[in-house]
Structure 1
Amino acid sequence: MEYILITIILFISILIYFKIADKYNIIDKPNHRSAHTQITLRGGGIIFPVAFIIFGLFNPGLVIEEYWSFGLGLLAICTISFIDDVKTLSNKIRLAVHLISVILLLYFTGAFTLTPFWVWPILFVIIIGTLNAYNFMDGINGMTGVYSLATLSSLAYINRDIIKFTDNDFIYYPILACIVFLFFNFRKKAKCFAGDVGSMGIGFWVIGLITLLIMKTGEYKYILLLSIYGMEVVLTIIERLLLKENIFEAHRRHLYQLFANEKKVSHLVISGIYAISQLVINIFLIYSQLPLWTIILIIFIPAGGIYLGLKWNLKKEYNL
């Protein structure tokens, strides 16, 4: 009954936001990087920080004792991202807030006490890189929500049946937020887009959960719960570097963009394939007892080969 109530509250919250976004013209206009062609409400991903606020209202003691640092980091990164959705901010301001949020995230997960100090810079780079990967991959209807739902569902299963590393509701609330968001986004003509506030918000939450799990188990294999996003972004960056392109400029070289823009494949089909692919990897990851390097080879050799083959064929077909 509680989760039904939470879902209703989340639905009401996003509908209220739609009214505000419509009144203040918070919209996403198509550009040369976009895979959509119509003006759509932006910032629907505000549902994710709202989900944490609701989590805090229903679990005040838990948040005060355990989750306050995560909440501050999440709200900070979502606030700066929402402002950036409405009005472009300086990269220095964004980076400063991102660093503060990551510090709060690492404090929350216990990484500062559980890992040697020389590992901290590596964690900073990985987390900020993963956050940006989430942002880069948020380009078509359904992608952010469905992909996150696949990973969150895997984390919920691990927490319930493999090893408990956090409170169940701390995973269930973002799952409910994803479902509500997808109701409006997983459509041929989306009602709203996540915006930076959404991709950064849910990305921060998912990364926080994975980091908690790694700190609890000491098994770094769980970073592969985001392996599809990681592989896509890393290979695309390498490609752009080889082409001597500015990797910080907007582009349309991601595989999902080529399928959506050139091949005209349904956004929903592409998003579904990415999510299912990650889910298959997650199932293998959860039950595999193999060493980490072996798991990496088993996942990335075939996945990377398929990725590069598809991309090469598309570029050849469309002379890209």
Structure 2
Amino acid sequence: MIEYLVIVAALFIAMLVYFKIADKYNIIDKPNHRSAHTQITLRGGGIIFPVAFIIFAVFNFNLIIEEYWSFGLGLLAICTISFIDDIKTLSNKIRLAVHLISVVLLLYFTGAFVLMPFWVWPVLFILIIGTLNAYNFMDGINGMTGIYSLVTLSSLAYINKEIVQFTDHDFIYYPILACLVFLFFNFRKKAKCFAGDVGSMGIGFWVIGLITLLIMKTGEYNYILLLSIYGVEVVLTIIERILLKENIFEAHRRHLYQLFANEKKVSHLLISSTYAFVQLIINIFLIQSELPIWGILPIIFIPTGCLYLGLKLSLKKKYSL
């Protein structure tokens, strides 16, 4: 317990130091046409997630050398390029190259290259990079990234302790502590900071790494549904944009959470909490269920998909979007 209190204190200090640096060098997020916020706010507060891993490495040096070095390199690489991109926009080629390298390191860490046939590897690349980008797309309002990640990480911690131990407990507890500290500054009506790409990509990489490791250890693919709400939101939004013949790679405001925040003016904290709560209910069902993934998929996706489409259609009709 004392160790975790020390870590929390260290993370708080790291955030406060970063605030001074960000303020000095003008690392800020200015509202634009797709923003759900209206005030200039410090960007890059998600740097706390790679900092949490560095602290984990200091306390677990032997474990890093033996097992976690490839994950650490991948995480730090993707966080570094994302932080640079937060400050100065980089070309898509550079970002994609680093993302690919990071995913290679993540798959090596999870043992996927040994456990999966080579023809599955491209599928894993697409799924992981797609999920990373989904994490980034959904990071648009106060509290969303932090509280959603907290729910998923807490579910993974429960699985690791009560069902099957697939990793070191601290490897899940450290990002949980980082989420709590980040939420202290971000889960507010007027956030002190935003996660930035470094935050959404960093915690996304950590969560995806844990889920991939769990799947590789157990062979149970249903654990991918620990991120099902993000999956439903992003996939259906992409389909909508394709049907409207829009460029899916351009910035937009068509996500359901954006419509609620921007058009209906619903509290960011309420929206973020609702998303996290629905994912928590799904996680509880997922953990307790003994059904195979093909039995679980329709139970989860049919009601959530219908709810999403119903809410989207009602908002579009009301606001003529």
TM-score by length of 1: 1.00
Residue in 1 that maps onto 2:281: 280
> Mapping of 1:166-181 within 5 angstroms?
166-181=167-182
Residue in 2 that maps onto 1:129: 130
Number of equivalent positions: 320
Alignment partners' CA distance in 2, 1:301 and 1:231: 10
Alignment partners' CA distance in 2, 1:4 and 1:263: 40
Residue in 1 that maps onto 2:146: 145
Residue in 2 that maps onto 1:188: 189
* SS of corresponding position for 2:148: helix
1:21 Cα deviation from its structure 2 partner: 0.1
Residue in 2 that maps onto 1:295: 296
Q: Which string of whole-angstrom CA distances, capped at 9 and with x for unpartnered residues, describes residues 291-313 of structure 1? A: 21110000000010000000000
- What amino acid is aligned across from residue 135 of structure 2 in structure 1? Y
* SS of corresponding position for 2:142: coil
Alignment partners' CA distance in 2, 1:33 and 1:138: 12
Residue in 2 that maps onto 1:42: 43
Alignment partners' CA distance in 2, 1:275 and 1:168: 22
Alignment partners' CA distance in 2, 1:39 and 1:31: 10
Residue in 2 that maps onto 1:120: 121
Residue in 1 that maps onto 2:253: 252
- What amino acid is aligned across from residue 99 of structure 2 in structure 1? H
- What amino acid is aligned across from residue 163 of structure 1 in structure 2? V
Structure 2 residue 107 is matched with structure 1 residue 106:
yes
Q: Which string of whole-angstrom CA distances, capped at 9 and with x for unpartnered residues, describes residues 35-80 of structure 1? A: 0000000000000000000000011001111100000000000000
* SS of corresponding position for 2:308: helix
> Mapping of 1:209-224 within 5 angstroms?
209-224=210-225
Residue in 2 that maps onto 1:57: 58
Q: Which string of whole-angstrom CA distances, capped at 9 and with x for unpartnered residues, describes residues 244-283 of structure 1? A: 0000110000000000000000000000000000010000
* SS of corresponding position for 1:212: helix
Alignment partners' CA distance in 2, 1:74 and 1:306: 35
Alignment partners' CA distance in 1, 2:35 and 2:82: 19
* SS of corresponding position for 1:264: coil
1:243 Cα deviation from its structure 2 partner: 0.2
Alignment partners' CA distance in 1, 2:17 and 2:141: 24
Q: Which string of whole-angstrom CA distances, capped at 9 and with x for unpartnered residues, describes residues 71-103 of structure 1? A: 000000000000000000010000000000000
Alignment partners' CA distance in 2, 1:233 and 1:306: 14
Alignment partners' CA distance in 1, 2:121 and 2:212: 13
Residue in 1 that maps onto 2:21: 20
* SS of corresponding position for 1:140: coil
- What amino acid is aligned across from residue 172 of structure 2 in structure 1? I
Alignment partners' CA distance in 1, 2:25 and 2:5: 31
1:290 Cα deviation from its structure 2 partner: 0.9
Residue in 1 that maps onto 2:241: 240
Alignment partners' CA distance in 1, 2:280 and 2:134: 18
1:216 Cα deviation from its structure 2 partner: 0.4
Alignment partners' CA distance in 1, 2:248 and 2:109: 32
Q: Which string of whole-angstrom CA distances, capped at 9 and with x for unpartnered residues, describes residues 147-192 of structure 1? A: 0000000000000000000000000000000000000000000000
Alignment partners' CA distance in 2, 1:212 and 1:38: 39
Residue in 2 that maps onto 1:69: 70
Alignment partners' CA distance in 2, 1:5 and 1:130: 32
Alignment partners' CA distance in 2, 1:256 and 1:57: 38
* SS of corresponding position for 2:237: helix
Residue in 2 that maps onto 1:309: 310
TM-score by length of 2: 0.99
* SS of corresponding position for 1:197: helix
In the alignment, structure 2 segments of 5+ residues that lack a partner are none
1:197 Cα deviation from its structure 2 partner: 0.1
1:229 Cα deviation from its structure 2 partner: 0.2
Residue in 2 that maps onto 1:9: 10
Alignment partners' CA distance in 1, 2:137 and 2:291: 31
Identical-residue share of aligned pairs (%): 84
